[in-house]
């Protein structure tokens, strides 16, 4: 099916008029509704925007480490991962200050099917790198400049510089930033211990966060991305701690009650942690005030109540209970009232509320373990994975479009990513140690 | 210098169909993306986030805009003294003796559980009767009951399940006259299996409550 040519012309004309009005007068943030609708159209149809990213152009300083190639390569990986773009990388750099060469290059990319192009102008000063990103609309006859923006980072953080550029490209085209400038925390097994690691969202540059030589479980990012709450046996018993991922700051004990101190989930405002304590006899869900340690008990039931997860509004909490037999997912108001059952059949655990609020992903055992999702009102139950192996432990990216999870399909548990509809399942960690409990961070500040 | 036209240059996605969507995407730019920020802005990135601070810029380089780090988060009451930076925070005051202080006791036997269950099976009740009898005649022993699960399922739920198993065993012993204040429970969930084969026989061995003692 082809769109009639006159319709394309009309649409582009509308775009041009709107652009003329808006580009020159930056205003307050608008509703993202139009962009979201369009984004959904793209995602469900698996259609991508073609973007050309030639090697960056060095316009100042020196480049002994080859950033002009490294930076666009990472940007390209990020944009391909977004599933919104199809990237051409590796083409030669556009000569600096040569409009004719640039125009000819863009025309050739456009002839090859590119809808957009990204020009990167690199300047290095001592140990810092600055890139001016220029985005062009190759579907317009004048190769219109869509946006121009500068990013700066230490050279040692070159990957992060690329991630920020990629996230801004996604922002320019969809109204919401990408998720390349995020981290994934996880646990890595070895020698009878499980230590917590943090790596880039794409699995690169893992950093060991704990060296307790004990079992450490359930890492959970604070909304400000500064700290990770987790359960650890470092003092013998399963207490709740937090570590500071990017600061030289000691770990803190957050909850050291008798029994289990498990399943931490930060409230959206970062002031509280919902968790499971068994100090009063059996596992119940509580809310811990991080500032003063005060506790509020939410559940009161002879059955197991555990694994709380907040709705992004902070007004509701989903959790797991076996009060109706096997473990199933329930939802309650954040005060512990108005409990209603969400899942019916099977053995369902590990609920994780989407940051967009519209879905709860979870793990279901029906034979093997697989990932499912359901709307918070109980509608639209759908299966996201169907083997091979066991698939468990979903964690949402901050855009609600991607998930990280663990799968045993390669023989040992490793982390994978996928889109929220279960497509694009991709191996993230390659072992050999068992790697589990992936926790996707919010966007870094 | 310039790229050759040709679909093969790109990384294997459906360009033709994407062409149809491009105008919509571009429209999205103007409806939502652009109004948020000026067409040109020089925004320097915020402070780098790294485990070890980056080296300071050399004197010759213009200093990057200083980014003030956010104030430290409020510390919970359990935070250790700021003068010390221990690798491991101290346990809470009044914590029971560490599990490593408890020893295996050949007089006490394990009990086992059905999948996803924590009720005491009749045969296991007799084992607990014998355990209770020994503990009542050996009053100077503190007791640690470990609850374990098989490998199937998830860490968090199994932690709760193992806790219920340890508590089931503890409640039974208390009902038989063992003082509750002698007993501590600990759940290891699925984290410390006895047996790692993927068979029902192995999983059944792992679903257990295991009892240790510490002489006072």
Question: In whole angstroms, what is the distance from residue B1 CA to residue A344 CA?
Answer: 62
Comparing CA positions, the residue from A392, A372, A400 lying closest to residue A434 is A392
Question: In whole angstroms, what is the distance from residue A299 CA to residue A295 CA?
Answer: 12
For chain A positions 53-92, those within 8 Å of chain B (CB to CB) are 54, 76, 80, 86-89, 91-92
Tell me phi and psi for residue B2, to 5 degrees. Answer: -95, 150
User: Which residue of chain B is at minimal alpha-carbon distance from A27?
Assistant: B35
Q: Tell me the two tokens of residue B165.
A: 């198993």
Q: Could you tell me how many helices (H) and strands (E) chain B has, helices first?
A: 4, 6
Question: In whole angstroms, what is the distance from residue B34 CA to residue A18 CA?
Answer: 10
Comparing CA positions, the residue from A219, A263, A64, A77 lying closest to residue A155 is A64
The domain tally of chain A equals 2
Same domain, A188 and A240: yes
A146 touches chain B (CB under 8 A): yes
Q: A117, A150, A174: which is the final residue of a domain?
A: A174
Same domain, A160 and A199: no
CB contact under 8 A, B32 and A306: no
Residue B157, H or E segment: helix B155-175
Contacts of A248 in chain B (CB under 8 A): 85
B177 pLDDT more than 90: yes
Same domain, A110 and A194: no
- Chain A: give the shortest CA distance to residue B39, in Å: 5
Question: In whole angstroms, what is the distance from residue A287 CA to residue A267 CA?
Answer: 9
pLDDT at A325: 87
Task: Name which of B70, B95, B154 is nearest A350 (Cβ-Cβ).
Answer: B154
pLDDT in tens, B88-139: 899 999 999 999 999 999 999 999 999 989 999 999 999 999 999 999 999 9
B65 pLDDT more than 70: no
Question: In whole angstroms, what is the distance from residue A218 CA to residue A202 CA?
Answer: 20
Same domain, A168 and A107: yes
B53 pLDDT more than 80: no
In a domain, A35, yes or no: no
pLDDT in tens, B8-35: 344 434 343 333 344 444 434 333 333 3
Mapping DSSP to helix (H, G, I), strand (E, B) and coil, where does residue A214 land?
coil
Tokens 């369009």 sit on residue: A38
In contact, A149 and A123? CB cutoff 8 Å? no
pLDDT at A367: 84
pLDDT at A41: 33
Same domain, A201 and A259: yes
CATH code where residue A257 lies: 2.120.10.30
Same domain, A170 and A190: no
pLDDT at A2: 36
pLDDT in tens, B155-166: 999 999 999 999
Same domain, A275 and A145: no
Question: In whole angstroms, what is the distance from residue A117 CA to residue A138 CA?
Answer: 7
Residue A70, H or E segment: helix A67-82
β-strands A85-89, A49-53: how paired? parallel
Q: Could you list the residue range(s) of the whole structural domain that residue A138 is in?
A: 47-174
Segments making up each domain of chain B, as ranges:
99-215
In a domain, A19, yes or no: no
Mean pLDDT value across chain B: 72
In a domain, A150, yes or no: yes
Helix ranges restricted to H, A24-98: 33-45, 67-82
- Regarding predicted confidence, which is higher, B26 or B183? B183
Architecture of domain B99-215 in this structure? 2-Layer Sandwich (3.30)
pLDDT at A89: 83
Task: Name which of A172, A207, A259 is nearest B163 (Cβ-Cβ).
Answer: A259
Per-residue pLDDT 10s for chain A (445 aa) are 333 333 333 333 333 333 333 333 333 333 333 333 233 334 444 589 999 999 999 999 999 999 999 999 999 999 999 999 999 888 999 999 999 999 999 999 999 999 999 999 999 998 999 999 999 999 999 999 999 999 999 999 999 999 999 999 999 999 999 999 999 999 999 999 999 999 999 999 999 999 999 999 999 999 999 999 999 999 999 999 999 999 999 999 999 999 999 999 999 999 999 999 999 989 999 999 999 999 999 999 999 999 999 999 999 999 999 999 889 999 999 999 999 999 998 899 999 999 999 999 999 998 899 999 999 999 999 999 998 999 999 999 999 999 999 999 999 999 999 999 999 999 999 988 999 999 999 999 9
The C-alpha angle B195, B196, B201, rounded to 5 degrees, equals: 60
CATH code where residue A133 lies: 3.40.50.10070
- Chain B: give the shortest CA distance to residue A129, in Å: 11
Residue B75 — very low, low, confident or very high, per pLDDT cuts 50/70/90?
Answer: very low
CB contact under 8 A, B21 and A47: yes
For chain B positions 147-206, those within 8 Å of chain A (CB to CB) are 152-157, 159-161, 163-164, 167, 184-189, 191-192
pLDDT at B63: 33
pLDDT at A46: 53
């Amino acid at each position: 099916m082809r769109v009639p040519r006159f319709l394309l012309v009309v649409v582009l004309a509308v775009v041009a008029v709107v652009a003329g009005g808006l580009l020159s007068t930056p205003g307050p943030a608008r509703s993202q509704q139009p962009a979201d609708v369009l984004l959904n159209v793209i995602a469900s149809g698996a259609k991508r925007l073609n973007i050309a990213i030639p090697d960056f152009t060095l316009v100042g300083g020196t480049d002994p480490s080859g950033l002009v190639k490294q930076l666009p390569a990472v940007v390209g990986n990020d944009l391909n991962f977004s599933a919104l773009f199809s990237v051409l990388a590796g083409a030669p750099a556009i000569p600096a200050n040569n409009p004719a060469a640039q125009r000819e290059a863009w025309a050739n990319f456009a002839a090859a099917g590119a809808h957009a192009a990204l020009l990167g102008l690199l300047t290095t000063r001592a140990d810092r790198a600055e890139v001016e990103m220029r985005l062009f609309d190759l579907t317009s006859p004048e190769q219109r400049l869509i946006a121009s923006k500068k990013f700066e980072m230490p050279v040692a953080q070159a990957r992060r510089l690329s991630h920020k550029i990629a996230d801004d490209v996604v922002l320019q085209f969809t109204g919401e930033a990408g998720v390349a400038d995020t981290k994934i925390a996880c646990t890595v097994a070895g020698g009878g211990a499980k230590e917590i690691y943090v790596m880039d969202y794409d699995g690169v540059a893992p950093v060991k966060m704990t060296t307790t030589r004990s079992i450490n479980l359930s890492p959970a990012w604070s909304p400000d991305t500064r700290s990770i709450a987790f359960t650890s046996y470092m003092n013998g018993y399963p207490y709740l701690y937090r570590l500071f991922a990017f600061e030289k700051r000691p770990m803190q004990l957050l909850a050291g009650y008798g029994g289990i101190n498990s399943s931490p989930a930060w409230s959206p405002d970062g002031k509280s942690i919902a968790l499971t304590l068994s100090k009063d006899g059996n596992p119940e869900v509580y809310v811990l005030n991080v500032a003063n340690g005060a506790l509020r008990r939410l559940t009161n039931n002879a059955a197991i109540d555990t694994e709380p997860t907040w709705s992004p509004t902070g007004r509701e909490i989903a959790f797991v209970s076996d009060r109706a037999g096997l473990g199933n997912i329930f939802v309650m108001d954040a005060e512990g009232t108005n409990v209603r059952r969400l899942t019916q059949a099977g053995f369902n655990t590990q609920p994780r509320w989407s940051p967009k609020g519209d879905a709860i992903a979870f793990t279901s055992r029906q034979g093997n373990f697989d990932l499912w999702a359901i709307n918070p009102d109980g509608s639209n139950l759908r299966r996201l994975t169907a083997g091979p192996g066991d698939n468990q432990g979903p964690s949402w990216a901050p855009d609600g479009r991607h998930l990280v999870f663990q799968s045993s399909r390669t023989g040992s548990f490793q982390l994978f990513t996928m889109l929220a509809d279960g497509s694009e399942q991709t191996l993230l960690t390659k072992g050999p140690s068992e790697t589990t409990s992936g926790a996707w961070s919010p966007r870094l500040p | 210098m310039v790229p050759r036209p040709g679909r093969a240059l790109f990384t294997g996605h459906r360009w033709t169909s994407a062409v149809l969507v491009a105008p919509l995407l571009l429209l999205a730019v103007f409806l939502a993306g652009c109004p948020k920020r000026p067409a040109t802005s020089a925004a320097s990135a915020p402070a780098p986030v790294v485990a070890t601070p980056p080296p300071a810029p050399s004197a010759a380089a213009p200093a990057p805009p200083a980014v003030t780090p956010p104030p430290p988060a409020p510390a919970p009451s359990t935070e250790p003294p700021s003068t010390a930076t221990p690798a491991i925070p101290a346990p809470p005051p009044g914590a029971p003796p560490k599990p490593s202080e408890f020893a295996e006791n050949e007089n006490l036997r394990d009990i086992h559980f059905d999948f996803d269950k924590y009720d005491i099976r009749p045969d296991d009740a007799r084992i607990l009767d014998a355990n209770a009898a020994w503990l009542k005649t050996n009053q100077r022993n503190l007791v640690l009951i470990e609850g374990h699960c098989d490998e199937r399922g998830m860490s968090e739920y199994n932690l709760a399940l193992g806790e219920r198993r340890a508590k089931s065993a503890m409640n039974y012993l208390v009902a038989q006259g063992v003082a509750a204040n002698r007993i501590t429970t600990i759940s290891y969930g699925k984290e410390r299996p006895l047996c790692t084969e993927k068979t029902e026989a192995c999983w059944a061995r792992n679903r257990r409550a295991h009892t240790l003692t510490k002489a006072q």
